[in-house]
Amino acid sequence: MKDTKVIFRIMLLAVVLLAGGTAWGEKVYTPADVPNPNIADRSQYVADPAGYLSPEAKAEVNRQLAEVRKATTAEIAVAILPSIGDETVDEFAPELFKQWGLGKKDKDNGMLLLIDIGGKKARIETGYGMEGVFTDAFCSELLRGDLFPRMKENDVDGGVKAVIAHISAVATNPEVRDEIMSELADGQAGLTEEDIETLKEVAWNLAMIVFFAGLCIFVYKVVKTRGKDRYEKALAWRGSLVMLGGAALFSGGMALPLFLIAYILYRLKRNKPLRCPKCGKKMRRLSEKADNAYLTPAEDLEEQIKSVDYDVWECPACHTIEKYAYRSPQTKFAECPACKTVAYEMVSDEVRVKPTDISQGIGVKTYKCRFCGHTKEEQYKIPRLEAAAAAAGAAAAIGSSLSDSGSSGGGFSGGSSGGGGASGGW
């Protein structure tokens, strides 16, 4: 008799364990546990880690929500979870909404359908930009009219599809579409006022840094040119113009006075009349056409190709000639290592040995002086095709991550919940 009672108790316990095992083994989700489906694949809008939706229903819901996003920029997502523990759907939904950043920042046109299977509860959470169309009363009707009757019949597919179809039809209606449409393009997150203020602060700090860098350059030139002759001062101030010009640009104009002063000093030093070193008379600067008679063939070529500009000064009394060279801020011509003429340029760049998957290639750049004809070849290595392909692949991956098309990843756009919507149970 005792054995029969023991067996009966064991069987009863087994039945209880089998009946309650599923519930006891359910994972309790927090908002942080729920993966954003849209990050890895931009075509996915449903988080269903336990697989309550059939593949066909999930595909249909994703298709509809993608069309809504394309037509209206509104970002709507679905989360179906086995259990959210002791947290209510009214607490859970806003947290998940914020974590995913549903909707555009300028419009807050996001919406979330959260279904807690274990608690038999659901909530529709809306952003501010959706509340004018999807009112609390309307959201309540979606739950009580479309979702809950089907959930009572364990028809998760039918319930979710009915709600999303209803939302899609309303959102894409031309009469209300403009009300929820963001001005930001899809995939463009936009900036909040806080973001803009932060950017302004960063820009101001960077501008100040650039300004003080320009000021340091200016002061350095002032100190460096003390005691120098007019030609050396002209060269020094001329050499600072590119840096001070960049400082003026990237400091938002704060360094512009420094650039203008440097330019004026450069012109004054370059154009200041000279005294003849022999007789002391004032010299005059010759025109570009007249000074050619006093230039060497190499110097004449440099002026023709605009690599160097020469100032030629002549004394009207004793006809003494003084020449001053000002190299142009260009990168095409360099100084020839043979004749020192600034007419040395690259004339060809060819591949001598093609790279392969296992070996580097060899390229040859040929340089030649336009004046003396001095020629030199310089070899360089070409990366292996595998390395080049890897670099191209990395660039493609970056481009893909920034792309809005296809099913590449991306996520939502940083919108916020407005606290509107409705919740209930079945």
Q: Supply the pLDDT for residue 219.
A: 96
Whether the CB-CB separation of 41 and 400 falls below 8 Å is answered with no
Looking at 1.10.3720.10, 3.40.1390.40, 3.10.310.50, 3.20.20.70, the CATH number of the domain 5-190 comes to 3.10.310.50
Residue 135 CA, distance from chain mean position: 36
Residue ranges in the chain whose pLDDT is less than 50: 1, 6-7, 14-24, 188, 396-408
Q: Are the CB atoms for 259 and 248 separated by under 8 Å?
A: yes
Residue 267: φ, ψ to 5°: -65, -40
Q: Which residue carries 């069987």 as its tokens?
A: 11
C-alpha span between 388 and 394 (Å, rounded): 10
Q: List, by residue range, all CATH 3.10.310.50 domains of the chain.
A: 5-190
Residue 409 contacts residue 42 (beta carbons within 8 Å): yes
pLDDT in tens, 232-281: 999 999 999 999 999 999 999 999 999 999 999 999 999 988 999 999 99
pLDDT digits (tens, 9 = 90+) for 53-111: 999 999 999 999 999 999 888 999 999 999 999 999 999 999 999 999 898 888 888 99
Neighbours of 97 (CB within 10 A): 29
**pLDDT at position 27, please?**
84
> Which candidate, 269, 371, 370, 361, places its Cα nearest to that of 324?
269
Residues forming a β-bridge with 114: 79, 123
| Strand ranges for 201-333 from DSSP E | 284-285, 308-314, 321-327
**β-pair partners for 177:** none
d(CA 365, CA 341): 20
Q: Is 264 exposed, middle or buried (0-12, 13-18, 19+ CB in 10 A)?
A: exposed
Give the CA dihedral 116, 118, 119, 123, nearest 10 degrees. 10
Q: What angle do CA 12, 14, 17 make, to 5 degrees?
A: 110
Q: Using CA atoms, how far apart are residues 69 and 128, in angstroms rounded to an integer? A: 17
pLDDT given for residue 42 in this prediction: 86
**By the 8 A CB rule, do 142 and 106 touch?**
no
Q: What is residue 342's three-state secondary structure?
A: strand
